[in-house]
Structure 1
Amino acid sequence: MKFSTLPIALILFACIGQGCVSSKKYKDLQSSYDDLKNKTKDLNQKYQGSQQDLSGSSSRVKSLEEQIAAERANTAALQAALDKCLSSSSQGNVNISKLVDEINSSNKYIQHLVNTKNKSDSLNVVLTNNLTRSLSREEMRDVDVQVLKGVVYISLSDNMLYKSGSYEISDLAGATLSKIAKIITDYKDYEVLIEGNTDNVPIAQTNIRNNWDLSALRASSVVQALQNKYNVDPKRLTAGGRGEYNPVAPNDTEAGKTRNRRTQIIITPKLDQFMDLIEKAPEPTTKP
């Protein structure tokens, strides 16, 4: 739309030409005409600006409508994909649920094992402390007590336990063995392995063939003393000999040989308890 000033100008000239207006009135009309012309110009400019704004707004609206349509299409595609995934993986969800149950069961089993181990470690510490407190300073010179990997090792020197060159228990060993037997009796959930060890010097006795025999006979002597003199349940006891083949020091010195001539009382949790734990382990049910 555009405003025209031509008819107004013609009227003015016609009036002037006919002498129908005075000079003053003509000036007033001319001033009004100029004002009207300026206003018309402003209106035209505003109109053009409004047209441009309207065009820009229309473009933005169109762009937004296109974006909305695209997002709706994308949402529909995602929903379809989700529906398809849920439909096709219903069986997979069941397997995942079973797997989660198995993981939870395994975690409980692992925690049970950890608790069992912690309990065993605590008992080992108490057992060791009770034993060392019961032994005198003199006895501790011939007795070494250690806990290694959850097992209590009581190492007794050859000089204290046996008569020289023999597997018979000496009188000096009685008091020490009685204290060890009390500890063994108090802790009924432990198995006891008596293990004989020698140095590498061949035995020279007609009734003992070699160091295998000597180590086994010495272990057997300790087992029978624990059973017969100190009433330890023989079902918990095992005797074994390792001869010269489990040294703890080189045999090229007298000090080393002395250390190797030892009998170890090895106290361990009962194996059937561990087997029970293994049997209670959860078995996987889901297939890979």
Structure 2
Amino acid sequence: MWNKIIFRSIVLIIPLWYACVPQKKYNEVNIRNAEMMRSLRTTENKLDSTNNSLETFIKKADKLEEDLEASNRKNEALEAKLERAIATSSSVQQELTAKEQRMMEQQERLDLLQNLLDEQRAVMEGLKTTIDKALVQYRSDELQVFEQDGKLYVSLQDKLLFPSGSATVNKDGKEALSKLAAVINNSPDIQILVEGHTDNVPIRGRFEDNWALSTARATAIVRVLTNSYDVQPERVTAAGRSFYYPKASNETPEGRAKNRRTEIILTPQLNELFQLLR
């Protein structure tokens, strides 16, 4: 705006100079005036160019500022996401640590359980070896010793223990039980279950049925073990199973002979194992 005012002032002054000064001076002034006008236009052009450049710069600056704000917002969002990721990672790490701790504890329990099982297996294997040696004189059709389901079975046929249809232990039976009791008394942690079994032929005589006979025979053996051979009564259980758990078919004499038996089942103490499994 100031440039336009100056230009108009110069235009008004020129006629006055024309009237007051000689021709030569007037020409000189005219030339200078023309030069000034060119310089003024150049200045104006530069100023316009500068203004345009300034406007462009301002627009660029505004755009940069917008971009910077957008970048800041993105950075804030990324920082928030990073914080959430760190929090999640920390939570996951804590959970993994807790799981690892539980797995270690479970592995320790499993190792301890396996050690106990190995110890029990070793005890039962040693017990079987000792019983085999103690009862080596008896034939397989009189007595058998075998392992099953972690337990040790001493299976005695009725002809070794009882007269036919009787629940009174005979001399040979007491001798076999004395040898077995000597081994049992040296293994105080072993529990003893005495099971009586019969064939399916109905019993006649003083017993009501095969249940009564199988139970009476089991009880008779328990009395011999506890009263005659000092096996602790707290360790012993008597049970009669009649003819419902046969070892062989009851359709043949040989099968029925195998089914008339008393099984002394030796079981290791499992209290520690039960504690671990809780």
TM-score normalised according to structure 1 size: 0.66
2:54 matched to which residue of 1?
none
Cα separation, 1, equivalents of 2:82 and 2:149: 53
| Contact 1:120 1:269 (8 Å CA) reproduced | yes
| Contact 1:139 1:176 (8 Å CA) reproduced | no
Change (3 A) 1:98 1:238: same
- Indicate the percent of aligned positions where both proteins have the same amino acid: 34
2:112 matched to which residue of 1?
112
| Contact 2:124 2:268 (8 Å CA) reproduced | no
2:179 matched to which residue of 1?
179
Cα separation, 1, equivalents of 2:176 and 2:231: 15
**Displacement of 1:254 after TM fit?**
0.5
2:136 matched to which residue of 1?
136
2:99 matched to which residue of 1?
99
**Displacement of 1:201 after TM fit?**
0.3
Amino acid at match of 1:223: V
1:270 and 2:269 matched? yes
1:199 matched to which residue of 2?
199
2:218 matched to which residue of 1?
219
**Displacement of 1:213 after TM fit?**
0.6
1:123 and 2:154 matched? no
Aligned residues: 202
**Displacement of 1:153 after TM fit?**
0.6
Cα separation, 1, equivalents of 2:166 and 2:226: 20
Change (3 A) 1:266 1:215: same
Amino acid at match of 1:225: V
Cα separation, 2, equivalents of 1:237 and 1:82: 69
Cα separation, 1, equivalents of 2:172 and 2:210: 23
Amino acid at match of 2:120: S
Unmatched 5+ residue regions in structure 1?
A: 1-76, 280-288
Tell me, what secondary structure is at the counterpart of 2:196?
strand
| Contact 2:192 2:265 (8 Å CA) reproduced | yes
Amino acid at match of 1:117: L
Cα separation, 2, equivalents of 1:105 and 1:277: 11
Tell me, what secondary structure is at the counterpart of 1:137?
coil
1:240 matched to which residue of 2?
239
Amino acid at match of 1:162: F
2:189 matched to which residue of 1?
189
Which stretches of structure 1, 4 residues or longer, exceed 4 Å deviation after superposition? 77-83
Deviations 1:151-184 (A, max 9, x none): 1011000100112210110111121101110111
Cα separation, 1, equivalents of 2:142 and 2:204: 25
Unmatched 5+ residue regions in structure 2?
A: 1-76
Change (3 A) 1:138 1:92: closer
Amino acid at match of 1:249: A
**Displacement of 1:137 after TM fit?**
3.0
Which sits farther off after the overlay, 250-259 or 264-273?
A: 264-273
Tell me, what secondary structure is at the counterpart of 1:239?
strand
**Structure with the greater alpha carbon radius of gyration:** 2
